[in-house]
Structures are given as C-alpha cells and as structure tokens.
Amino acid sequence: MIRTTAKINGMMCSMCEAHIQDAIRRAFPVKSVKASHTKGEAVIVSESPISEAALHAAIDPTGYTLGAVSAEPYEKKGFSFFRKS
C-alpha cells in the first residue's frame, strides 16, 4: 500500500476537510483518507500510487489549491493473528 500526503491550501474548517475527503473518495479507490485543515494536508492510503496530475484533477475543481505531494510505502501497524514466517 501507498501513503500519499498532499498539501492543500484553503481549508479553514471541518466542512472544508469533508469536501476534500469526498472529492478524493469520488476520484480514487482509497483505503482511507484524512484531511486536516490545521495541518493543511490530506493523507491518503491506497493500494496503488496516485499521480500528482490526478490529484490536481480531483482537487482543483473544489476551489482548494494542491501544493506539494509526497508518497511512501505504507504498512498497517498493529497486532495480527497471522504471522509471517
């Protein structure tokens, strides 16, 4: 899985966060998305990488501005009943 962090300018409240999260969920098959107006970013967890151009296409129509985008491999942390040998 991939964790993509997208800086987003213009979010001022929790309703702004909801608009961003909805736009991302409509545009991509994500495992999770969490936007934060205080951090000015959205963190997206997905099976495959999301391109910066695709994020622009999803976010630009909302009126918010996409800034820097970074991605890194993501592995869910926590206890598992199934252990890899």
Q: What pLDDT digit, counting tens, does each position of 24-63 carry? A: 999 999 999 999 999 999 999 999 999 999 999 999 999 9
**The amino acid at 48:** S
What share of the chain has pLDDT > 70, as a percent?
Answer: 91
| Rounded Cα gap, residues 9 and 24, in angstroms | 15
- Containing domain of residue 37, as a range? 2-73
Q: Which residue has the higher pLDDT, 79 or 16?
A: 16
Question: Does 80 reside within a domain?
Answer: no
CATH code for position 53:
3.30.70.100
Where does 10-84 show beta strands of DSSP type E?
Answer: 30-36, 41-46, 65-73
At 49 the three-state DSSP class reads coil
Q: Structurally, how many domains does the chain consist of?
A: 1
